[in-house]
Chain A
Amino acid sequence: MKTVFQKPEALTDMPMHYCPGCTHGIIHRLVGEAIDSLAIREQTIGVASVGCSVFAYDYFNCDMQQAAHGRAPAVATGIKRVLPESMVFTYQGDGDLASIGMAEIVHAAARGENITVVFVNNAIYGMTSGQMAPTSLLGQKTATSPRGRTVEEMGYPIKMCELLATLEGPAYLARVSTHDSRHVLQAGKAIKKAFEIQQQKKGFAMVEVLSTCSVNWGMTPVKALGWLEENMIPYYPLGVYRDVTAKEGN
């Protein structure tokens, strides 16, 4: 019998805890496929963060460390500096990376730390049940912005790709989305590219993946995908914000 579709070797058999309709499962698969396609599973060390992806160490079939909230880029730095031939990635959400872990991500990027960062932006805190995130949109209603996020009270949502693109350190910065299959395929290519950048020792690579949280957004999964496309993409434009290999004409 011919196998036409199977789980990447870089994912375990553990059933995922993610809610129905959540796009974390898709993004895990894209990371697993990237690791498989580059045949780097046995040299890869992943760093899970705190938030919905806290159990990522159960799902990626490679060596894993679980980091404190926001500290994954520091933990990854600690690993990569002593094992420079290994492949090190972090998998972080928006609260982890863009709020409590802002210093760690900015400085890892500024140092051009040779790691790969998968940044899942779903504009809300999922694990703690729907609080306002640094990336929640203006007007977005959450458990802690019940009348909608206002500039006066809570300021503006943070655009991480644009922010990190002001630094010299990053080698690759891209924002992708998971709201339809075409964009999922593009996201997969960007994630693979972010690992290739590390493999080529070119420096810091981050892919920001726009993602849905239908449960905490209070929508059906399908409606959430539509909300992402209509509301998140206009504020968080998709595209490549830095690619040092493009400069080199590769």
Chain B
Amino acid sequence: MAKILMKGNEALSEAAIRAGLKAFYGYPITPQNEVPAYMAEHLPLRGGVYLQAESEVSAINMVYGAAGAGVRVMTSSSSPGISLKQEGISYIAAAQLPCVIVNVVRNGPGLGGIQPAQGDYFQAVKGGGHGDYRLIVLAPGNVQEMADLTTLGFDLADKWRNPVMILSDGILGQMMEPVVFSEDGAVSEVDKPWATNGAAGRERNIVNSLDIIPDKAEKNMLRLLEKYDQIKAEEVRWQEHNTEDADVILVGYGTSARVARSAMELARKEGLKVGLFRPITLWPFPEQRLAELAKAGRSFLAVEMSAGQMIEDVRLAVNGVSPVHLSNRLGGMVPTPEDVLEKVREILEGRVS
């Protein structure tokens, strides 16, 4: 169980290969380029296929084909490239194909920049493509989690026959931290009797998202929604620190949660009762636990590297019981713990509405 110093993007890639990845289809875009480079270097030597597609659109459709053929498959990209993949992601969700999609988020909209941001939250957790569907969205908070949540992502994708998105960002992808990989080597793959891998000795299988008969389509949708309800009941994950006595609970995921944690530590040194709530699954969102934490006299402060997107889910969860404020930076700027702490002081001193 040796510790290895790795970039987040590399740790994620290594974990995927260890999870039994059989194919990676990608297209270059910053700041996720370490992922395809790692895959090109290692995957073909370890029993998988690496292919650079002609576009993000093609890459996600290659994922559709390989996922439909029953193997563990993934793609990675960054914000503008993820926008291009949305058509394919909608089809994959509708056809109920398991796969992992990595978004190493950069700032947007448009071409934006290549600096870390969290502006793709809505796109990841509210849909992104057309139609009623959900992705399971996992938000790593350090390099170890870039690896661990990738492993979990493949397991959840197979378990629920659903696409999983790893919502990372440019900092988590590029920074180096020690990481430990489990050495048991067990790959928990499930049987896929629905896969299209040749109808030898069985009825043919069809991978499809088309349904033009409305009453049948509605029944299929209700089955899909039932699956989403089960996922909401079983797969919510989060971490919390110092929430019991907190007057202000900071809520943040990914890089923002790291900043928020530092802010919480500074605050506690000053005797301010500040806690931290870190969603790990962004969908399903840990709304029930946030609702339990909401009470009169307690405030929430969403820390985000976006215009304020996750804050909407926090507000839905606390449902008016507690006020919810925002501390954010935009354009690839990263908030500092001092910025967050200043906002905490404003809240505690009643200087915010």
Q: Which residues of A contact B (CB under 8 A)?
A: 41-45, 47, 54-55, 57, 61-68, 71, 74-83, 86, 103-104, 106-107
Contact = CB atoms under 8 A, between A and B. Distances in A.
A68 B89 CA distance: 11
Nearest to A55: B210
Given A67-B61, A68-B61, A68-B87, A81 B23 contact: yes
Contacts of A54: 210
Interface string B45-69: 0000101011101110111111111
Contacts, number: 127
A70 B139 CA distance: 33
B88 interface: yes
A79 B200 contact: no
A71 B207 contact: no
Contact of A74 (B62, B69, B71): B62
Contacts of A61: 204
Nearest to A45: B196
B208 A68 contact: no
Given A74-B58, A103-B54, A107-B54, A86 B198 contact: yes
A80 B196 CA distance: 11
Given A74-B53, A104-B54, A64 B207 contact: yes
B73 interface: yes
Contact of A75 (B23, B65, B87, B201): B65
Interface residues of B, number: 39
A74 B61 contact: yes
B193 to A, nearest CB: 12
A65 B207 contact: yes
A82 B196 contact: no
A126 to B, nearest CB: 16
22 contacts: A43-B200, A57-B208, A63-B196, A63-B197, A63-B199, A66-B208, A68-B64, A71-B61, A74-B65, A75-B61, A75-B68, A77-B65, A78-B68, A78-B69, A79-B68, A79-B69, A81-B62, A82-B71, A103-B54, A103-B57, A104-B57, A107-B58
Contact of B66 (A44, A82, A104): A82
Nearest to B208: A66
B209 interface: yes
B91 interface: yes
B228 interface: no
Contacts of B67: 78
B201 to A, nearest CB: 7
A212 B108 CA distance: 47
Q: Would you list the 6 A-B pairs with minimal beta carbon distance, nearest first? A: A78-B65, A78-B62, A74-B61, A63-B196, A75-B65, A107-B54
B25 interface: yes
Interface of B: 22-23, 25, 49, 51, 53-55, 57-59, 61-69, 71, 73, 87-88, 91, 95, 196-201, 204-210
B204 A104 contact: no
A76 B65 CA distance: 6
Contacts of A45: 69, 196-198
Nearest to A106: B54
Contacts of B69: 45, 78-79, 82-83, 86
Contacts of B68: 65, 75, 78-79
Nearest to A80: B65
Contacts of B58: 71, 74, 77, 103-104, 107
Contacts of A106: 54
B73 A82 contact: yes
Contacts of B200: 42-43
Given A64-B208, A78-B23, 4 more contacts: A65-B206, A67-B91, A74-B62, A103-B57
A81 B210 contact: no
A47 B65 CA distance: 9
A18 to B, nearest CB: 15
Nearest to A78: B65
Contacts of A75: 61-62, 64-65, 68
Contacts of B73: 78, 82
A150 B166 CA distance: 49
A46 to B, nearest CB: 9
Contacts of B62: 74-75, 77-78, 81
Contacts of A107: 53-54, 58
A41 B199 contact: yes
Contact of B210 (A44, A66, A104): A66
Nearest to A40: B198
A78 B200 CA distance: 20
B88 A71 contact: yes
Contacts of B91: 67-68
Contacts of B51: 77, 81
